[in-house]
Chain A
Amino acid sequence: MPPSFYILAALTIAATAAALSLRNLVHCALALSVAFIGLAAVYLQLDAQFVGLAQILVYVGAVSILVVFAILLTRNDEATKPLVSRFSVAGAATALVVLGVLTWAIDKSEFTHRKLPPAPAATVRQIGDALMTHYVLALEVIALLLTAALIGAVIIAMHNEEPKS
């Protein structure tokens, strides 16, 4: 394993933990961006350049900004209240149980012991061919979903100016 992986993994986990535990929501959003970038780097390391770049474009470029907008639009004085909800202990326990189960499963798996094969060719051209031929229907569906989500999000968030009678 290259040492770069461990550095990236540590960075990503730290950023993730920060994004989920900081008191200031804006800081959370910034930490989230860092976590996304770290993940994108892991993708690049796994020879998935296209996905890594898409990750940066979509998550860092769009979703994080969206989160920041949402934070600004919902700003209130409740930030001083306790960070965690009433059932935080149970929640944390649940997360630990899930982590334990997953780790155990990974550890038990025989499949995970294989070595890294030689780097496959995954050019943008190949991905584009696959999208336009074999996966064209899925592409259409995802396009429809995104359009619907766009319109739906606008309608849901739109301020209702109708006077109450």
Chain B
Amino acid sequence: MDWIVKNLWLIPALPMLAAGISALTPQRGRKLSATLAIGSMMVSFLLALCAFAHTLGHQGEEARQVFNFPWFEFAAGSAGVLQLGWVLDPLTAVMLVMVTFVGTLIFIYSVGYMAHDDNFTRFFTFLALFAGAMLGVIIANSLLLLFICWELVGLTSYLLIGFWYHKPSAAAAAKKAFITTRIGDVAFLLGMVWLYSQTGTLLFYDHGAGCMEQSALAKMVVQTTSAGMAVSTAIGLLIFCGAVGKSGQFPLHVWLPDAMEGPTPVSALIHAATMVAAGVFLVARVYPLMGARLEGAPVETTALQVVTWIGAITAVFAACIAVAQNDIKRILAYSTVSQLGYMMMGLGMGGVAVGMFHLITHAFFKALLFMGAGSVIHGCHEEQDIRHMGAIRKYMPVTFLTYAAGMLALCGFPLFFSGFWSKDEILHAAHGWAPSQIPFYLGVIGAFLTAFYMTRQVMLVFFGKNRAAAHDSHSAALSHGHSAAEPHESPAVMTVPLMILAAFAVLLGFVGTPAWPWFQNFLEGEVATVDFARLSESATLMISSSVIVLLSIALGWWLYGRKPRQTAAEPDVLEKARPDLFWLLQNKFLIDEVYEATIIRFNAWFARTCDFLDAWVWGGVVLAVSYLTVGLGWVNNVFDQFVINLGFDGGCSGMSAGGRLASRLQNGQVQNYLRIIGLGFAALVLFLIWGGGK
């Protein structure tokens, strides 16, 4: 076994260690904690590269190497030993490189973005812990280890979203994120327990004995639950619930847009590299379980169909909402939800490779977009409303260019941007999906909407006329006099990561084109070949999707670029056309309100009922019990005082009287003793003569 496989644990351990040290660093130790966090991420990145290089040298099943060890034993026998471990396969390697690389860039960017924050060290502590937990999720070879790290990700996301906890909205958003994802995690935990009871192991791969391997899967496929569903499918769906929560899929997506309350680097990390990717990664990891069936292609199992439908609905649903948002980060947040839907679709219909390719390319360009947005916000003095921006292009050229690259990648601009290739893969898979064609059309609509809302955002932010002056009175108070200053370009520590990410956003697509599907083949453990003929097979689809994207961008320009809006207060173009529909979209299809009216109200009612029961029924019972106890205590006390104590005192005084009597004998007078001996002697003689003698 190779060194890197054995020591894979170092990759998550290093950032966690850095977090531990910087947690103990005093507030003024800014440099130390930032250096530690970034340094540990860089070392992890190098180790991840080693791991990646290691997997490059192997093909097929050989590419998967595991290291397992027993954690603790809770019962006799091999089934009672809980094993943990890590796995190094192409999936892990790709994710490791992506997370450490993007993470490192975000960390560096944070140094600039958080420069003025008092709790700089706390921020880096959480950030490093967050990254470490995510890396733990990636390397885990045990569903349990994965779950532990998964919950750590949940915890740190809570800490980071609520980083500015003195803002009520941030605190509420943190709580919302934590609780919403927890709902999914309950199902995840149930699935895990069920899986353990079925297979007796939580290891994914264990030389043929793991729960993702043929023997265990075959056992689970033949069993059916009461509803006629295969056990493997049921477990897969339960685990998928966890992914729905974490990856912000419909209907548990509500926390994701609110998570924008956290600092922008956190948003970038959550949306690009770590948290939401964890859900997609989880589905990819348990793909053998989800796709297990007796015969036929794995893509058509019930579990994967559910994944597909959820993904498709989410993709379109979130894209619709994004059209009507005005907050620059919120638009990106809904875009993330929508793109995650695409990834789920890709996983459901095309397999691990398709979904993961989009995950990787999306990680790069979404990190780029978030950091670009952060740069814009930073440059505009913490302004987030795109209606109050405009013409930023002139003030922040580097940010504009890199942002544009990210935007075009997200839109799927033909040929030269990574998003085009990865999204095309998904649409291609959807086109060939046997059960239904609807997800394909949903995907196309989603692509159209994506291109449209991104064009709208870019037009409003970077083009047109600067509308910041329009609400001077508002921001003057906020930024004490700086409002007169024009938006400024961000420092190099923020722009350099942007440029690096922009380069990747463009180039990364070329490792997974149909002509040279290196990425997909790598994940499946095959050797990639160059074949341009494959390009022509999907040419029709590619051309049509290109046309759609171009049309959408043109429409965006027509509506928002041709006649730029003049003031911040002016209503949106779409709002003028269909105010009712726009209102609905702007309020996110009222999902939050629906939850408010149903689940939360029910919950509150239930809580009130419980409170009532508690106060009147249980409270009464408890009170009665307590009175009973007090009464018994009183009886006990009386008994104690008058029976036990008196009896005891009597016994004691009797004893001491006897003692006094005995001690009078023992008066220390030698002659007294001698006299008694004399009497004893006389008695003995008499006894011997009368009793003993004859």
A and B in direct contact, judged by CB atoms within 8 A: yes
Chain A residues with CB under 8 Å of chain B are 85, 87, 90-91, 94-95, 97-98, 100-102, 105, 108
Given A105-B685, A108-B689, A98 contacting B671 (CB threshold 8 A): no
Provide the bound-state CA to CA distance between A98 and B675, in Å: 10
Provide the bound-state CA to CA distance between A97 and B681, in Å: 10
B689 x A94 contact (CB < 8 A): no
28 A-B interface contacts by CB (under 8 A):
A85-B669, A85-B671, A87-B669, A87-B671, A87-B672, A87-B675, A90-B675, A91-B671, A91-B675, A94-B675, A94-B678, A94-B679, A94-B682, A95-B678, A97-B678, A97-B679, A97-B682, A98-B678, A98-B681, A98-B682, A100-B682, A101-B682, A101-B685, A101-B686, A102-B685, A105-B685, A105-B689, A108-B689
Chain B residues with CB under 8 Å of chain A are 669, 671-672, 675, 678-679, 681-682, 685-686, 689
Main secondary structure of the interface of B (DSSP, over half): helix
Q: Which residues on the B side are within 8 Å of A105 (C-beta)?
A: 685, 689
Q: Which residues on the A side are within 8 Å of B671 (C-beta)?
A: 85, 87, 91
Q: Which residues on the B side are within 8 Å of A101 (C-beta)?
A: 682, 685-686
Q: Which residues on the B side are within 8 Å of A102 (C-beta)?
A: 685
Q: Which residues on the B side are within 8 Å of A98 (C-beta)?
A: 678, 681-682
Main secondary structure of the interface of A (DSSP, over half): helix
- Chain A: minimal CB distance from B687 (Å): 11
Q: Which residues on the A side are within 8 Å of B678 (C-beta)?
A: 94-95, 97-98
Task: Give B670's nearest chain A residue, CB to CB.
Answer: A85
Q: Which residues on the B side are within 8 Å of A85 (C-beta)?
A: 669, 671
Provide the bound-state CA to CA distance between A47 and B671, in Å: 37
- Chain B: minimal CB distance from A143 (Å): 29
Task: Give B688's nearest chain A residue, CB to CB.
Answer: A105
Q: Which residues on the B side are within 8 Å of A90 (C-beta)?
A: 675
- Chain B: minimal CB distance from A108 (Å): 7
Residue among B671, B672, B682 with the highest chain A CB neighbour number at 10 A: B682
Provide the bound-state CA to CA distance between A87 and B675, in Å: 9
Residue among A95, A100, A102, A105 with the highest chain B CB neighbour number at 10 A: A105
| New A-B pairs, 20, CB < 8 Å, besides A85-B669, A94-B679, A94-B682 | A87-B671, A90-B675, A91-B675, A94-B675, A94-B678, A95-B678, A97-B678, A97-B679, A97-B682, A98-B678, A98-B681, A98-B682, A100-B682, A101-B682, A101-B685, A101-B686, A102-B685, A105-B685, A105-B689, A108-B689
Q: Which residues on the B side are within 8 Å of A108 (C-beta)?
A: 689
Q: Which residues on the B side are within 8 Å of A94 (C-beta)?
A: 675, 678-679, 682
Provide the bound-state CA to CA distance between A140 and B39, in Å: 92
Residue among A85, A91, A94, A108 with the highest chain B CB neighbour number at 10 A: A94
Provide the bound-state CA to CA distance between A102 and B682, in Å: 8
Provide the bound-state CA to CA distance between A105 and B685, in Å: 8
- Chain A: minimal CB distance from B397 (Å): 95
Provide the bound-state CA to CA distance between A95 and B689, in Å: 19
Task: Give A95's nearest chain B residue, CB to CB.
Answer: B678
Q: Which residues on the A side are within 8 Å of B685 (C-beta)?
A: 101-102, 105
Q: Which residues on the A side are within 8 Å of B682 (C-beta)?
A: 94, 97-98, 100-101
Provide the bound-state CA to CA distance between A87 and B679, in Å: 14
- Chain B: minimal CB distance from A99 (Å): 9
Provide the bound-state CA to CA distance between A88 and B213, in Å: 107
Provide the bound-state CA to CA distance between A98 and B685, in Å: 9
Provide the bound-state CA to CA distance between A100 and B685, in Å: 11
Task: Give A90's nearest chain B residue, CB to CB.
Answer: B675
Task: Give A85's nearest chain B residue, CB to CB.
Answer: B671
- Chain A: minimal CB distance from B680 (Å): 10
Task: Give B677's nearest chain A residue, CB to CB.
Answer: A94
Provide the bound-state CA to CA distance between A90 and B669, in Å: 13
Provide the bound-state CA to CA distance between A102 and B683, in Å: 11
Q: Which residues on the B side are within 8 Å of A100 (C-beta)?
A: 682
Task: Give A99's nearest chain B residue, CB to CB.
Answer: B682
- Chain A: minimal CB distance from B326 (Å): 94
Provide the bound-state CA to CA distance between A94 and B677, in Å: 10
Provide the bound-state CA to CA distance between A94 and B675, in Å: 6
- Chain B: minimal CB distance from A21 (Å): 16
Provide the bound-state CA to CA distance between A101 and B680, in Å: 12
Provide the bound-state CA to CA distance between A102 and B689, in Å: 11
- Chain A: minimal CB distance from B672 (Å): 6
8 nearest interchain CB pairs?
A: A101-B682, A94-B678, A94-B675, A101-B685, A97-B682, A98-B682, A98-B678, A91-B675
- Chain B: minimal CB distance from A158 (Å): 23
Provide the bound-state CA to CA distance between A112 and B686, in Å: 18
Task: Give B682's nearest chain A residue, CB to CB.
Answer: A101
- Chain B: minimal CB distance from A75 (Å): 21
